[in-house]
Amino acid sequence: MEQLIEQLKSQIIEALNFEDLTPADIETDAPLFGEGLGLDSIDALELIMLMDREYGIKLADPKEGKVIFRSVRTMAEFIQANRKK
């Protein structure tokens, strides 16, 4: 799990173009949206695409992302349980 969390942090930084951040800057349990990284609706779509590309998980409804993307940990848990690759 910890390995997946670290990998996910790097993938998030790359997918969302956070050039000035390193994985250590992202807190595993901090909210991704609103506060924390302050992500928006386009970032949510990028994260949905990231899960599709890297883990073979397809979401049909962007609203599902709200719960999954609460934090890096919740995202990692969802990936762990649903990954196809």
Partner 1 sequence: MRIAITGIGAISAIGRNCAETLQSLLDERSGIGAMRLLGSVHTDLPVGEVPLTDAELKHIAGVADSEPMPRTSLLGIIAAREALEQAGLNEKMVNGLAFISGTTVGGMDLTEQHWQDYALGKASENIRLHEAGESTNAIARQLSTLNFIATPSTACSSALNAIMLGANLLRTGQVKAALVGGAESLSKFHLNGFNTLMILDHAPCRPFDADRLGLNLGEGAGYLFIEPEEDAIARGATILGYIGGYANTCDAYHQTASSDNGEGALLAMSGALRMAGLQPSDIDYVNAHGTATPNNDLSESAALRRLFGSNLPAISSTKAFTGHTTSASGGLEAAICVLAMQRGFIPANLNWSTTAEGLITPVTHTLHQPLKHILCNAFGFGGNESSLIISNEGIDLSEAPLIDISKYRTVEISQDIDVSAYVSPAESRRMTPQTRRIVAAARRAMAESGIATPDAIVCATQWGCMLQSMRFLQDIIDSGEQQLKPTPFMQSTHNTVASTIAILTANHGYNTTYSQGKQSLDCALADIRTQMSLGLIQTAMVIEFDEQVDAWDAVLQHIGDSTQNIARVTIYTNRKQ
Binding residues for partner 1 (CB under 8 A): 15-20, 38, 40-42, 45-46, 48-49, 52-53, 62
Min CB(43)–partner 1 separation in Å: 9
First-to-final CA distance of the chain: 15
What is the identity of the amino acid at 75? Answer: M
Min CB(18)–partner 1 separation in Å: 6
DSSP 8-state assignment for residue 17 = T
Min CB(76)–partner 1 separation in Å: 21
Nearer to partner 1, 2 or 72 (CB): 72
| 9 burial level (CB within 10 Å; 0-12, 13-18, 19+) | buried
